[in-house]
Amino acid sequence: MNKFKSGFITIIGRPNVGKSTLLNNIIGEKMAIMSSKPQTTRNTIRCVHTTEDYQMVFIDTPGMHKPKNKLGDYMVDVATSTLKEVDVVLFLVDEPGKMGPGDQYIVNILKDLKTKKILVINKVDKMSQEELLGKIDELKEYHFDEIVPISAIDGKNVDTLLNLVYKYIPEGPQYFPEDTITEQPEKIIVAEFVREKALQFLKDEVPHGIAVEVMSMKERKNGELYDIEVNIYCERKSHKGIIIGKEGKMLKKIGTRARQDIENLLGCKVNLQLWVKIRPDWRDKDFDLRDLGYRK
């Protein structure tokens, strides 16, 4: 009989390579938000995958990028700080052809790291067989412990990836109860669901200046309804108008779609109230960053 194994695995890569999609596929539920816009993930997200043979704690990190403000500095620090604290690093790439400067920057960070490293080529559903083989051949020179092609969106080869991770994690205890899928507080997940919808529906210049804070979550006595109040912060008065939209239609759209995910999370009906407030230049103010939960 195999001895039980447990370990911590971080998922890193450039913005928008599919880290959150992979995490959600592994866990089997939506825990990390997804968007076509880069730098969607701002904090580490820890999710737990448990079977009879192992418990894997996956850490989704912000995408590696060149910071443009203090929030960006925080995000890169968060991503890099996990590397020496885990048993396995999954480095996601997603484009055929030569590695770009963003990928090369991450490779340089990883090259002296003693932690086991698996190179994961994502989005193979969008590559031809020739492109994939060329990518694998080109990446062999970077001396990863394993290279595995996957499609996070449809689950192709994700089981193969988990088998490789299992090979490298140590024997150890079960850190979390077997029904645990995340250690994120519900308030944090609710705030992220609202921010995800803002990312999906708003113009390019607005979403990255948005922060979301859950002000209250109150369960009614019958346990069948939550009252939730959420503040959406933006940096400019003009952005506030865009978020609210004509006759409040954009804010209603964000709230309606976010409420669906929140109800799935909580398993009950939700009365969601959204408020939009201006917080000038919060991404470059230490106090605002700490106040909104971006603490190193």
Give Cα separations from 216 to 31, 209, 229 (angstroms).
20, 22, 5
Q: Is the pLDDT of residue 34 over 60?
A: no
High-pLDDT (> 70) share of the chain, %: 83
Least reliable range by pLDDT among 15-24, 71-80, 161-170, 225-234: 71-80
Tokens describing residue 177: 């109860």
Q: What pLDDT shows up at residue 35?
A: 43
What confidence score (pLDDT) does residue 204 get? 64
pLDDT reported for residue 118: 95
For residue 271, which amino acid is it? N
Q: pTM for the complete prediction?
A: 0.68
Helix (H, G, I), strand (E, B) or coil at 251: helix
- State the amino acid at position 66 in one-letter form: K
Which range among 123-132, 143-152, 172-181 has the greatest average pLDDT?
A: 143-152
Better-scored residue on pLDDT, 71 or 166: 166
Mean pLDDT within 270-285:
90
Report the chain's terminal Cα–Cα distance, integer Å: 42
Mean pLDDT value of segment 89-100: 78
The answer on pLDDT for 33 being more than 60 is: no
Question: Which parts of 133-287 are beta strand (E)?
Answer: 146-149, 211-219, 225-234, 269-278
36: confidence class by pLDDT, cuts 50, 70, 90: very low
Per DSSP bridges, beta strands 116-121 and 5-13 are unpaired
In the structure, what pLDDT confidence band is assigned to residue 69 with cuts at 50, 70 and 90? Answer: low
Greater confidence, 74 or 144?
144
Bigger pLDDT: 20 or 203? 20
pLDDT at 38: 43
